A = this chain, B = another copy of it.
Amino acid sequence: MKNNWSHIRTPTLLIDEKRVRRNIHRMVTKAARAGKVFRPHFKTHQSRAIGEWFRDEGVSHITVSSVGMAEYFASNGWNNITIAFPCNLRQIDRIDELASKIDISILVDSEDVAEQISKLVNHKLRVFVEIDTGSERTGIRYDNPEAIMRLYALIEESEFLEFAGIYSHAGHTYACRSREEVKKTANEAIDRLEQVAAVFEKKIGVCYGDTPGCTVLDDFGDIITDLSPGNFVFYDMMQVHIGVCEVDDIGVVLCCPVVTEKTIEPVVTLYGGAVHFSKEQLDDKSFGKVAMLNPSGWEDSVVGSLERISQEHGMVRLDGVTAKAGDVLAILPVHSCLTAECMAKYLTLNGVYLDHYQKSR
Taking Cβ atoms with an 8 Å cutoff, the residues of A that contact B are 8-12, 43, 65-68, 85-91, 94, 109-110, 112-113, 116, 137-138, 171, 257, 259-261, 269, 271, 274-276, 278-280, 308, 310-313, 315, 324-326, 328, 337-338, 341-344, 359-361
- A66 to B313 CA separation, bound complex (whole angstroms): 11
**A313 contact from B85, B90, B116, B260, Cβ within 8 A:** B85
Query: What's the nearest-Cβ distance from chain B to residue A9, in Å?
Result: 4
**A109 contact from B66, B260, B313, Cβ within 8 A:** B260
Contacts of A280 in B (CB 8 A): 274, 279
- A325 to B113 CA separation, bound complex (whole angstroms): 7
Contacts of A342 in B (CB 8 A): 342
A325–B112 contact, CB under 8 A?
Answer: yes
B257–A112 contact, CB under 8 A?
Answer: no
Number of copies: 2
B10–A91 contact, CB under 8 A?
Answer: yes
Given A10-B360, A65-B312, A313-B137, A110 contacting B260 (CB threshold 8 A): yes
A89–B326 contact, CB under 8 A?
Answer: yes
Q: Which chain B residue shows the least CB distance to A279?
A: B279
B337–A311 contact, CB under 8 A?
Answer: yes
Query: What's the nearest-Cβ distance from chain B to residue A338, in Å?
Result: 6
A326–B278 contact, CB under 8 A?
Answer: no
A338–B274 contact, CB under 8 A?
Answer: yes
- A91 to B125 CA separation, bound complex (whole angstroms): 50
Contacts of A259 in B (CB 8 A): 85-89, 113, 138
Contacts of A86 in B (CB 8 A): 259-260, 269, 271, 325
Contacts of A9 in B (CB 8 A): 88, 90-91, 94
Contacts of A344 in B (CB 8 A): 359
B90–A361 contact, CB under 8 A?
Answer: no
- A86 to B326 CA separation, bound complex (whole angstroms): 11
B275–A341 contact, CB under 8 A?
Answer: yes
B261–A110 contact, CB under 8 A?
Answer: yes
Q: A86-B269, A90-B328 are in contact. List 4 more A-B contacts (CB 8 A).
A: A8-B90, A9-B94, A274-B280, A342-B342
